[in-house]
Chains A and B, each alone.
Chain A
Amino acid sequence: MSAVALPARPGAVAGVKNTLTLAWRSLVSVKHNPMELLDLSIQPIMFLLLFTYTLGGAISGSTSAYLSFALPGILVQNTIFATMNIGILLNTDLTKGVFDRLRSLPIARWAPLAGRIAADTVKQAWSVALLLGVGMLLGFRVQTSFWGVLGTFGLMIVFCLAIAWVAVLVGVIASEPDKVQIFMFAVVFPLTFTSNIFAPTESMPHWLQHWVKINPVTIVADAVRGMLNGGPVATPVIQSLLWAAGFLVVFAPLAVWRFRRRV
């Protein structure tokens, strides 16, 4: 292969192929990484079982009533947790030298990042399907239609593509994967709990309710409840999309800027 015959820059088609190869790599590595498998499959199911059977009766009067309230919220929480994994995986690539290897190859510059995010979308879809499936085994029933389920998948993926940039930013800034974990625990964990995913807003102290009502986690959970259980859909979906747009506009440029500075 002669160097001069090569294009000066990889084309868009080559870039998409690179992205697919790197997405394949992310998915194959799950097979060898039991921790990630745990995060993607066991943890959401465990949350669902624990909350439904220990708190369900106290909060909603019965486990079956609680299930229809909590499942949409747990879907959202799981999406956020799983998306934050992008940060950990990206940081591991950066600190372990995998990223430098990739950058030394004649591939599209954006492919490594795009590959990670593409793989994440597949993982998300898997988690959502799994949670819905297990929920149904426990007695959860979709009260709307097939379109409600499709809309849920769509909204989750749009939302996770937007917050993925937060994960990318944290992954790029952190000096080691452990620090990303600390961010997860200190910021993401409280963020998902100070919402209405596990308990109704009205049951919380007045001062907290102000935050809970505008927390994007609450809004997306309400949208998913509407799409799966029935009830208002348009308002929470539009608000969710606005939040997603907000995350994208603020964090995507920041993440790309820090990313370029680091690599």
Chain B
Amino acid sequence: MTNAIVAEGLVKRYGSTVALDGVDLAVRTGSVLGVLGPNGAGKTTAVRILATLLRPDAGRATVHGLDVVKDAHRVRSLVGLTGQYASVDETLTGTENLLMIGRLIGMSRKDARARAARLLADFSLSDAAERAAKTYSGGMRRRLDLAASLVGRPRLLYLDEPTTGLDPRARIEMWEIVRTLVADGVTVLLTTQYLDEADQLADEIVVIDHGKVIAGGTPAELKSRTGAQTLAVRPVDPRDLPIVLSVVGEVTRSTPEVDDNVVIAQVTEAAALPAVVRRLDDAEVEVAELTLRTSTMDEVFLSLTGHRAELTPEVAAP
């Protein structure tokens, strides 16, 4: 298997802020790499460098063997970019936006028109094709953004937080579209703040925090290491908290947290839940609440880094 993207030791500073502090990445051709991290971790900076929008201060990156700095123009013809920042022109209609991009990348008027109509149909935007993009809903906007990045049939697609701010239905629609693209052989680099999104779409995940890669592997590997699910137990009587704490700690082999009379722990094995139920029952502890849910980004971070994800906004390029 060859790599579509290889990045080595990428560094980017903004004044005294270090946005990227030596990031290595490799994306196999035809696969989906999920870059997971909280706001401000450096995900967007990394994507901007790989899309030739920013020059790294140190390190290098290649896309299909082409250097993103020295061969930027050729890299641009291989990559489609969809993100919070790479957007469509709101004052133009859906058709006009796609037509403009088709013409810019050298299509004839006829081909550009046909491609625009095709993409709008594929993304269920035909009805809105002649309306200005500013009248679109969030989900429609995002689909048009994605369509805009696909006009030139890129072999590589960068999706920078493609579902941030979308409602659950629009998110799932977006996931379906991405899966279809991957099935067509497009290599995808996806950044996200959502663990479940990376889990759903990515073949491999790297976790970035403070501009550094802190973990990587397949979703399954990562989950088994970090605890993809969170167990929460609330005893009826707060005096039972020490017993609950020791039971949960033993079963999950971790140090649970206590928050407002609820014992919280990361779970890596499916058998943990029945084991906890059984042992609490044996100890005659009455339980008011017992839940098993997908871990939040915050909880994954806590288990990977020992600190909570900081909710600071992404460092914007000046």
Q: Which residues of A contact B (CB under 8 A)?
A: 1, 3-4, 6-10, 14, 17-18, 21-22, 24-25, 28-29, 32-33, 93, 96-98, 100-107, 111, 261-263
B266 contacts chain A at the CB level, 8 A cutoff: no
A212 to chain B, nearest CB (A): 38
Provide the residues of chain A in CB contact with B152, threshold 8 Å.
105
> A6 with B74: in contact, given A32-B92, A101-B86, A101-B148 (CB under 8 Å)?
yes
Closest A residue to B155 by CB, please name it: A3
Report the separation of the CA atoms of residues A105 and B93 in the bound assembly, to the nearest whole angstrom: 19
Q: List 21 A-B contacts (CB under 8 A).
A: A1-B77, A6-B73, A14-B106, A22-B104, A25-B96, A28-B92, A97-B84, A97-B85, A97-B87, A100-B53, A100-B85, A100-B86, A101-B87, A101-B88, A104-B52, A104-B53, A104-B86, A105-B152, A107-B104, A107-B105, A263-B53
A104-B79 in contact given A3-B74, A9-B73, A32-B91 (Cβ < 8 Å): yes
Residues of B within 8 A of A1 (CB): 77
A24 proximity list for chain B (CB < 8 A): 100, 103
Q: What 10 pairs across the A-B complex have the smallest Cβ distances?
A: A97-B87, A29-B91, A97-B85, A106-B77, A106-B76, A104-B81, A101-B86, A21-B103, A100-B86, A32-B132
Interface string of B71-112 (1 = CB under 8 A from A): 101111111010111111111110010001101111000000
Chain B proximity of A202: nearest CB distance (Å): 45
Tell me the bound Cα distance from A4 to B152 in angstroms.
16
The interface residues of chain A lying within 8 Å CB-to-CB of B79 are 104
Tell me if B64 is interfacial: C-beta within 8 Å of chain A: yes
Residues on B lying within 8 angstroms of A by beta carbon are 48, 51-53, 64, 66, 71, 73-79, 81, 83-93, 96, 100-101, 103-106, 132, 148-149, 152, 318
A96 vs B91: C-alpha distance when bound (angstroms): 11
Instruction: List residues of chain A with CB within 8 A of the CB of B83.
Output: 97, 100
* Bound CA–CA A10/B104 (angstroms): 11
Contacts of B318 in A (CB 8 A): 261-262
For B97, the closest partner residue in chain A by CB is A25
A25 touches B100 (CB 8 A): yes
Residue of A with least CB distance to B63: A3
Q: How long is the Cα–Cα vector from A9 to B148 in the complex, in angstroms?
A: 22
Task: Name the CB-closest residue of B to A103.
Answer: B53
With a cutoff of 8 Å between Cβ atoms, the chain B residues found around residue A93 in the complex are 89
Contact B74 A98 (CB under 8 A): no
A120 to chain B, nearest CB (A): 15
| A21 close to B100 (CB less than 8 A) | yes
Give, as a whole number of angstroms, the nearest-CB distance from A62 to chain B.
43
